[in-house]
Amino acid sequence: MHFDELGLRAELLGAVRAEGYTVPTPIQAKAVPVVLERRDVLAGAQTGTGKTAAFALPILELLSRDRTVKGRKGRYPRALVLTPTRELAAQVAESVDTYGANLRLRSTVVYGGVGINPQIDALRRGIDILIATPGRLLDHAGRPTVNLSRVEILVLDEADRMLDMGFIHDIRRVLKLLPRKRQNLLFSATYTDEVKGLADGLLHSPELIEVAGSNTAAELVTQVVHPVGRTRKRELLSHLLREGDWSQVLVFTKTKHGANKLEKQLKTDGISATAIHGNKSQAARTRALADFKSGKVRTLVATDVASRGLDIDRLPHVVNYDLPNVAGDYIHRIGRTGRAGSEGVALSLVCAEERGLLSNIHRLLGRKIRTEEISGFKQEATPAREHKARQQPGKDSYGRRDRPGGLTRRPAKKGRGGASSGKRGGRGEGRRA
C-alpha cells in the first residue's frame, strides 16, 4: 500500500513525499481510513510506529474538506490533541505544521513552563487545531482565553502515560468543556485497566486497531542486562561509552537528583552530557534536547518525563541506569530506540537491589532478557543492606538494635517532597506540563 491509496488530498501527499515517505506504517495504513470515516478509534501501538501521522494526516484532511465545502473560518479550535508532556506536545505540533504546510489551516501548541501571553495571542487570532498539555489548557479555559465548544475531533495521545502521571481529573474537566457530539481518537502504547475504563466512557463503538502486542517491546530493539554492583554503575557506563565509541545515548535515571548527579559525573569522566527532567525550565529542556539531537553532546540523561514524546531519528542506544519502579515504563523507555524501521540497543545496568524490578519486567515481556556480565564489573551476591543485616544479627540496616516486636524506626528522608525523592517523577513532573 502507498500513501496515495489512503484517500488523502494532493497537498498532504506532497508534504508526506517531501519528508521522504512513500509507504505508510501499519498503524497509519489501518488508522487513516477509519478516521476519515469519522469513526472513533482505540489504537494500541508502540512508540516509533508513526502514530502521530496516523491521526494528524486524516485530521488535516477532514478539516480541509469542511473548510472547502462550508467556507468556515477557523476562529475556535475544531480539533484538540491532548498530550502528557511538553516535549510530546511540541513534536506533535511540529508534525501538524509539517504535514499541513500546503493547507490553509492554522494550529498552535500550549504547554506550561513558558510564557502564556504569546499563546493567548495565537488563540485570539483563531486556530483550527490545538495541541496542548492538560494543565496549561485548563489555565487558558479558566481565564478564559480558549473556547472549546466547537471541537469536532478529540485525540488523547499517550493515554496510558497521562493516566500514569495523574491527569485523569484534568482530562475529565477538559471533557466537560467539549461538545458531546464529536469524534474521539485514543492512542496508547499499553492497554491497562485504567486505559480500558477511560476508553469505555469516552469512545462510541470504536474501531480497535493494534499493530503490536500492547505490552511488547519493539522487535528491532536488542535488549541486554549487565549485572553490576550498585556503586560501580557510573564506572561501567563510562566504560561502555568509551569502549563502544557510542555517538548518541539516552540514559534513564529514577530521580531528578540522580540525573543531575550522573550528568556531572560523566562530565568529570570526560564524556559530554546534559540532563533533562521536570525541574528544568522549558528553555533548558529545549536547549538540552537540541544539543543532543545536533550531536553537541553525546549523552542525554533523563527521568521518565522524557521517556515519552522524544522524537530522535535513529537513536542507537538507550541505557536504563536505574530500572523503573513500574515495569510498563521499561517499554516506554526502550521505545526511544528501534524506531521507524531502525535497529537499536537497550542496555540495563542492574544491581542486586533491582532484581525484583527486573523480574517484573520479565513477567511483562513474557520472557527473560539476555544477561551479559562485563569483565571486571561483577555484581555483588546480595543487596548491600541485606548483607550487612546478616552480618550483624539483632541490628537494623543502620546498625541499631531492633525495637520490641521486631520493629525498627527508620530515619525520615528529608528534602523537598519528603520521602518522594525515590519515587517515579511522573505525577509531579507531569503537573508542571
Domain-ending residue, one of 191, 210, 229? 210
Burial of 5 (C-beta count, 10 Å sphere; 0-12/13-18/19+): exposed
The predicted model gives 318-339 an average pLDDT of: 83
Same domain, 167 and 93: yes
Same domain, 248 and 376: yes
The predicted model gives 161-171 an average pLDDT of: 89
Give 228's pLDDT tier (boundaries 50, 70, 90). Answer: very high
Q: What is the pLDDT of residue 153?
A: 98
Q: What is the pLDDT of residue 403?
A: 35
The predicted model gives 336-345 an average pLDDT of: 68
What does the buried/exposed string (b/e) look like for 77-86 if buried means 16 or more CB atoms within 10 Å of the residue's CB? bbbbbbbbbb
* β-bridge mates for residue 156, sequence order: 82, 186
250 touches 308 (CB < 8 A): no
Q: How far, CA to CA in Å, does 253 sit from each of 55, 258, 316?
A: 31, 6, 18
Report pLDDT digits (tens) over 44-70. Answer: 876 667 889 999 999 999 999 876 444
Q: Which amino acid is at 43?
A: A
Q: What is the pLDDT of residue 384?
A: 45
Same domain, 190 and 115: yes
The predicted model gives 173-183 an average pLDDT of: 96
pLDDT greater at residue 399 or residue 282: 282
In a domain, residue 402? The reply is no
Cα radius of gyration rounded to whole Å, the chain: 23
* β-bridge mates for residue 299, sequence order: 249, 273
pLDDT greater at residue 379 or residue 82: 82
| Residue 413, all three cell numbers | 528522608
357 touches 324 (CB < 8 A): yes
| DSSP class per residue in 298-364 | SEEEE-GGGSSS---TT--EEEESS--SSHHHHHHHHTTSS-TT--EEEEEEE-GGGHHHHHHHHHH
- SS3 state of residue 148: coil
The predicted model gives 330-351 an average pLDDT of: 79
In a domain, residue 32? The reply is yes
Average pLDDT, the chain: 82
Q: What is the pLDDT of residue 421?
A: 38
CATH number at 18 reads: 3.40.50.300
252 touches 321 (CB < 8 A): yes
The predicted model gives 349-367 an average pLDDT of: 90
65 touches 38 (CB < 8 A): no
Q: What is the pLDDT of residue 342?
A: 62
The predicted model gives 149-165 an average pLDDT of: 91
Distance CA 71, CA 65 (A): 9
Distance CA 299, CA 171 (A): 34
Point out the least confidently predicted range of 308-317, 345-354, 372-381: 308-317
Same domain, 197 and 253: no
The predicted model gives 151-172 an average pLDDT of: 91
Distance CA 61, CA 41 (A): 17
pLDDT greater at residue 303 or residue 36: 36
The predicted model gives 261-286 an average pLDDT of: 89
Give 383's pLDDT tier (boundaries 50, 70, 90). Answer: very low
pLDDT greater at residue 424 or residue 206: 206
In a domain, residue 408? The reply is no
Report pLDDT digits (tens) over 289-325. Answer: 889 888 899 999 998 865 555 666 668 899 999 999 8
- Return the residue matching grid coordinates 519502579: 325
Query: Does residue 273 have a pLDDT over 90?
Result: yes
Same domain, 29 and 132: yes
What is the domain count for the chain? 2
Q: Which domain holds residue 194?
A: 3-210
Give 28's pLDDT tier (boundaries 50, 70, 90). Answer: very high
In a domain, residue 407? The reply is no
Same domain, 200 and 237: no
Same domain, 234 and 354: yes
Same domain, 129 and 169: yes
CA 130 remoteness from chain centre? 19
Could you give the percent of the chain with pLDDT greater than 90? 52
Give 202's pLDDT tier (boundaries 50, 70, 90). Answer: very high
In a domain, residue 14? The reply is yes
Same domain, 71 and 173: yes
234 touches 245 (CB < 8 A): no
Query: Does residue 330 have a pLDDT over 60?
Result: yes
